Structures are given as structure tokens and as C-alpha cells.
Structure 1
Amino acid sequence: MSTSLTINLKRPSKVYHEGEVIAGVVVVESPGDTRHEGLTLVAEGAVNLQLSSKNIGLFSNTLKPINLLNTSVELAPPGKIPGGVTEIPFEIPLRARHATSPGYPGLLETYHGVFVNIMYTLKCGMKRSFLNKPLNATCQFFVQHRHQEPPVVKPVRCEITPASVRAGGGTRAPMPAFTIYAEIDSTVCPLDKPLTGKIRVDECSVPIKSIELQLVRVETCGDSEGFSRDEFELNIAVIFEDDYLVTENFPILLLRSR
């Protein structure tokens, strides 16, 4: 049996809000006394851009991660840990790296997307003599924004016509004549409530194959001087019988309300 490190959080959900304290224990399990050169715990958070063959031409290859959180604490000075199971308690504040900087948005919510990745981790390290490799343990935790007061309703009502939409896909035939009325009860919506509204076709010169609603996450990542933003769009896609496609989109803000 070899010496091992494990990070256990007191909060089973591992979900925290900015300003809270992350508490738990680091468990050291060893068959005998273990000498070490110090134990440290680091809380890290960053926005990373995930390059792939699909997006490598869309983003700069030199885009660096945006550092949101970097807090380090010493768990134990150099010394000896007895054999068996030893639990070392810790508390580490969850504060943004640039919390006092003007205009800094604070910690962003944990997000694992296609191109953008926002992740928070605890990393524990035990330094040992040059004859023994250092021991490391990691544990991911999750950051969420605090619940807000119920949002102010912001309804949207509009007519969708050939003059108001952008065409895409389908055939090269002229765009058909149509008038579609769309109504969204609110473009600001709590996450635990449905997004509601109605769509009415007033006139159309050709048959309609389908009308689709698409809630889309738009991933936006800045550089070392900027910040990632969370954006959503509601797209209304009208597909006519000949597969001619027209779309209209509306920015949507989703909030965690009380």
C-alpha cells in the first residue's frame, strides 16, 4: 500500500457561491510514517478556449486562459504524518482574483461547453524528498450565481416578414411572401420557469413544412484583458415546403430567481 491523498468536501453538492467558504478535509492514507516537505491547497478557476479542427480558424491560437481564481493556503509545514488515516481540515474563501478591480464581473458560473470551458478545482500537493515523487490530488467544485429577485417582465412582439429576416439554406428560388406574428411573453426568464409565447401565421404564399423554436447558447470568450460572457438566443426557424429556410432571433437572458 502506497501513500495517497484525497480531497473530501463537506458540501455533497460541491456547489458554492462567491463569498462563501469552501470547507472539507484532505485525507492522507499511509501504511507507515510519512515525512514530507509541506502540504499546500490551491483553489483555481479559469476560462479556457478549447481549440479543435472545427474552430481553429475562428479564434486566435495565442488566446490565453482567463484566470478567475487563485488562492493558496498551507495545510501543514514540513514534518511527519503518522501511518494510517489522517484527516487535515481546511477552509478556503471563494473570492475572485480581481474582486476589487473596477468593472470586474466576479466569478463566472461553471460551464462545460463546446468551445468555452469554465472550471474550478482544488489541488492539494505534498512535497517530498528528491527520492520520492510528490503526491497530488484534485477535486472539482462548481460555482453558481446567487438567486436574484424575480426579473422584470420584458415582452417582445413583432411581425416576421421577408423584409425582417435573414434567409439561409434551401433553394435559390425567390423568398415566398409571408407574414408571421411572434410574441414572447418575456425575454428575461427565470431558469425554473418555462419560456412562453405564441406564433401566428397570418399569410403565406406557399405551404409551410415546419416552424421550429431553438434555444441556443452563444459561447463568447475574450482575451487576457476581457471576460467570457453568457448569452442565449431564441431562434424562430420557418421551413417551407421546398426546404427554403428563414430565421429570426431574439436575445434571451436566463436568471436564477428566488
Structure 2
Amino acid sequence: MSVSLDIRLKRANKVYHEGERVSGVLLVNSRDALQHQGVSLSLEGLVNLQLSSKSVGVFEAFYNSVKPVQLVSSNMEVVKPGKIPAGRTEIPFEFPLQAKGNKVLYETYHGVFVNIQYTLRCDMRRPLLAKDLSKTCEFMVHCQTQKSKLQPNPVEFSITPETLQNVRERSSLPRFLIRGHLDATSCAITQPLTGELTLESSEVAIKSIELQLVRVETCGCAEGYARDATEIQNIQIAEGDVCRGLSIPIYMVFPRLFTCPTLETTNFKVEFEVNIVIILQDDHLITENFPLKLVRV
């Protein structure tokens, strides 16, 4: 007997806010009438934390604080045990999206060491010899708008051999001067990061200029913190030995799911940075780092 089970949400973009109702239909397709022992639906929101390999063994007590953090959890029986007729059956459902106790619903975010995920799971229990059916469906949660936290703060920068950090032999570096600005480092997550950059002078030919978006995830407890930076995306904004004195636009869209508003809690933090990376012809790497604050408006 061929049977399929699916979850269809009413909103095509699957985006919800705290306090709203998650609604949709369960779709059952069956060639013959279907005997079952009840259909249940559960909604769960979890923060999964994990340690990077370099931190394992450093914090023995850490494993207790790396347990998943449950933000929301609710169950309901949608259909009592009985029979579903042959063909296509739609079963409507509705769930209130409300955090547990004094918890807060953080925004959906897919990271490396921090993962914030909201899922619906439907289970259909079947008689003894038939296989139970289950289906999961992820939906997105966006936090409420934070307009008060968005302040325009343009940043001017000037990069020379003297401004670089972590340089062993500064005298061996070629002479160069790069000027530019970022329009804001406190950014609306739905708007692009913008600015411009100008190569005023360089003794050595330029190979490439890139924008690198980095997430900095911190997991921890009183015993210590593990802080890990990983690249989200890298965009080349110039290739080859660019004209001196020419303004090069900086433009980067923040990718969905892999970014979220900057988040700081007792057990974990999610922060973002952008690196301007200039690669010289002799493969010298010049990097300027700017911390970003992402806000939903």
C-alpha cells in the first residue's frame, strides 16, 4: 500500500514571529483506506551548541553547558485513532509560537558551532505490521524589529605598512596606501553592506581585492569560553593590478540563514566581522578587520 505524509505551511516564505500562529495542513495521500492509531504534531525550537576540535579536552566541565537549549516545545494530537479514506486528505492545524517560561525565541541561524532551528514534526502511528510514518518541516523565526539599535556610524580607514598588526619584519614590506570607508558598521540585516575603497599607491602590483564575511561564534560557561571564527562568504571586488586613485565600490548582501542579528546570551554569542583582503602579486596578504553589528529593522 502506497502512503505519503507531508506538512504544508500557509506561508510560502515559512517566516514567523513570536506570538504568531504557525498554521497549515497535513497532507495524507493513500491508495487505499488507511488504518492508524493517531496522528500527532509537535513543534520544537532548539539551540544546538558544539565545541570545535581544538577546544575539546580544554574544558572538561564544558560538556554540561553544551547541552541543547530548548526554546519552545509543544505537542498536540491532530487526529484520534481511526481510519483515513483513500485518496488525498488535508488535515488543518494551528500552533501558537510562544517561548517556554522566561526563554526568548532567537532568530533562525545555521552556524558551525551554534545552530538555532525550529521544526514541526508529524507522526502517524500505524497498526502492528505497518510502518509508522513521520515527516519534519523546518520553518524560520525572525526576531522583532530593533530600530532603536540602528545608528549610522560610517567608518573611514587608511591602510599602510605602519597600520598593520601581526607583522614580524615591517621593513621588508613594500610601500602602499589604501584609503576608503564603510557607510556603516551597524547594519540592517536585510540591507547590503556598502562603502568604497581606493588604492592610492603601491610599489608592488595587486593580484586581487576581496571582501570576506566572518562569523565569530562563542560557546561557554563560567569555566571558560571557546571562540571560533569561520568564513561565511568571500566576494572578489577587484582582480589584477587596479588603477591608482580609482574608487572601487564595496557591496555585500548578507546571506539568509547563515547570518542573524548579533546575539549575546549567557551560554553563547554570535557576532560578525568583515575583512578587506588585499593580495599582492608576490602573495603578501594585507587584511583589515571591521567588527559588524547586525540588526533587524
Same topology, TM > 0.5: yes
Residues 51-102 of structure 1: CA distance to partner in whole angstroms, max 9, x if unpaired?
8xxx53455795444433322122123333333333221101222345x14x
**Paired position in structure 2 for 1:214:** 211
Residues 98-137 of structure 1: CA distance to partner in whole angstroms, max 9, x if unpaired?
5x14xx4x2222x344555433221100123333222112
**Paired position in structure 2 for 1:93:** 96
**Paired position in structure 1 for 2:293:** 253
**Paired position in structure 1 for 2:125:** 127
Look up the equivalent residue of 1:218 and give its one-letter code: R
Q: CA deviation at 1:156?
A: 1.7
Look up the equivalent residue of 1:77 and give its one-letter code: K
**Which structure 2 segments of 5+ residues have no match?**
222-264
Q: Secondary structure in 2 aligned to 1:131?
A: coil
Q: Is the 8 A contact 2:177 2:201 kept in 1?
A: yes
> Of residues 160, 183, 199 in structure 2, which corresponds to 1:185?
183
**Paired position in structure 1 for 2:163:** 164
> Of residues 57, 77, 81 in structure 2, which corresponds to 1:74?
77
Q: CA deviation at 1:6?
A: 1.7
Q: Is the 8 A contact 1:184 1:198 kept in 2?
A: yes
- Structure 1 CA distance for aligned equivalents of residues 191 and 86 of structure 2: 53
Q: CA deviation at 1:251?
A: 0.9
- Residues 7, 197 of structure 1: alpha-carbon distance in 2 compared, 3 angstrom cutoff: closer
Q: CA deviation at 1:22?
A: 0.8
Q: More displaced, 128-137 or 112-121?
A: 112-121
- Residues 30, 44 of structure 1: alpha-carbon distance in 2 compared, 3 angstrom cutoff: same
Q: TM-score scaled to structure 1, two decimals?
A: 0.76
- Residues 174, 131 of structure 1: alpha-carbon distance in 2 compared, 3 angstrom cutoff: same
> Of residues 221, 225, 235 in structure 1, which corresponds to 2:275?
235
Look up the equivalent residue of 1:160 and give its one-letter code: I
- Structure 2 CA distance for aligned equivalents of residues 221 and 132 of structure 1: 46
Q: Is the 8 A contact 1:208 1:238 kept in 2?
A: no
**Paired position in structure 2 for 1:11:** 11
- Residues 163, 86 of structure 1: alpha-carbon distance in 2 compared, 3 angstrom cutoff: same
- Residues 67, 175 of structure 1: alpha-carbon distance in 2 compared, 3 angstrom cutoff: farther
- Residues 215, 254 of structure 1: alpha-carbon distance in 2 compared, 3 angstrom cutoff: farther
| Matched residues, number | 247
Q: Is the 8 A contact 1:154 1:186 kept in 2?
A: yes
**Paired position in structure 1 for 2:134:** 136
- Residues 192, 124 of structure 1: alpha-carbon distance in 2 compared, 3 angstrom cutoff: closer
2:199 paired with 1:198:
no
- Structure 2 CA distance for aligned equivalents of residues 214 and 4 of structure 1: 46
Q: CA deviation at 1:256?
A: 3.5
Q: Is the 8 A contact 2:212 2:276 kept in 1?
A: no
**Which structure 1 segments of 5+ residues have no match?**
none
- Structure 2 CA distance for aligned equivalents of residues 118 and 211 of structure 1: 35
Q: Is the 8 A contact 2:18 2:141 kept in 1?
A: yes
- Structure 2 CA distance for aligned equivalents of residues 86 and 154 of structure 1: 55
Q: Is the 8 A contact 1:65 1:223 kept in 2?
A: no
Cα RMSD (Å): 3.4
Look up the equivalent residue of 2:213 and give its one-letter code: V
